[in-house]
């Protein structure tokens, strides 16, 4: 029987290889926000065994698609610290620059939450599951030693699976102007050059992802826990 997938952009972020071994499947999942019928989504996550959900959205976004009554433990970790509505950017490239320059500690805090809960299946998501989620997942994958080409290819899948059906669900019953960051949310592309540019900036400014993580608060113990949990 085919399992109906009620979450847009849902997929396993742990199906890649590292020099130390393959990542454990079914432990680190990613998706868009819960835009459909919550009961169906909860049943889907229960079947998947998801125990923790790391929600990267601002409060204004969560109010449009809340996790009310979720059986999983919800960790609210807004990457943009409630500022998405007031951020000024002309392109996703600029948004990624802002994400790294101003909100790197929040990104690293989300990676820390993944490390702290890496003993159970968990889900990381934002609204589309491609930008904030894409960066957090990429930082985890790079810290685990996944080849960058594989990281970029995994990231780019979002633009293949997000489409008009996602936008229809996102804006159903609301004025798009009421959704913080509506311009960014209308963009459903995730070309690998976006992430590649951000990771190149990390290499240039920090000497690599591991140093970025340690600089902004991830501990050596969390890094060890992350690698021990996800590398088979």
> Residue 193: which residues within 8 A CB-CB, separation 6 or more?
none
* Domains of the chain, CATH where assigned: 11-230 (3.90.190.10)
| Burial letters 188-201, b for 16+ CB under 10 A, else e | bebebebbbebbee
Distances (CA, A) of 80 to 53, 145, 211: 18, 27, 21
Tell me which of 14 and 154 has the higher pLDDT.
154
pLDDT digit string (tens) for 48-104? 999 999 999 999 999 989 998 888 999 999 999 999 888 888 889 999 999 999 999
Distance CA 23, CA 11 (A): 14
């Amino acid at each position: 029987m085919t399992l109906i997938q009620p979450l847009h952009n849902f997929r396993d972020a742990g199906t890649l290889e590292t020099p130390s071994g393959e990542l454990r499947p079914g432990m680190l999942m990613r998706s868009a926000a819960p835009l459909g019928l919550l009961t169906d989504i909860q049943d889907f996550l229960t079947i998947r065994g998801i125990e923790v959900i790391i929600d990267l959205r601002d409060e204004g976004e969560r109010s449009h698609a809340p996790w009310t009554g979720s059986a999983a433990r919800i960790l609210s970790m807004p990457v943009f610290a409630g500022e998405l509505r007031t951020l000024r950017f002309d392109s996703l490239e600029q948004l990624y620059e802002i994400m790294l320059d101003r909100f790197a500690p929040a990104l690293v805090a989300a990676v820390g939450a993944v490390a702290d809960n890496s003993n159970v299946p968990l889900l990381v998501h934002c609204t589309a599951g491609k930008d904030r989620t894409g960066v957090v997942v990429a930082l985890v994958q790079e810290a685990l030693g996944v080849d960058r080409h594989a990281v970029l290819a995994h990231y780019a899948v979002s633009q293949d699976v997000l489409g008009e059906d996602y936008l229809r669900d996102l804006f159903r019953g609301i004025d798009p102007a009421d959704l913080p960051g509506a311009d960014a949310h209308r963009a459903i592309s995730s070309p690998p050059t976006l992430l590649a540019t951000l990771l190149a900036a990390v290499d240039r400014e920090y000497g690599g992802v591991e140093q970025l993580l340690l600089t902004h608060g991830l501990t050596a113990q969390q890094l060890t826990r992350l690698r021990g949990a996800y590398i088979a």
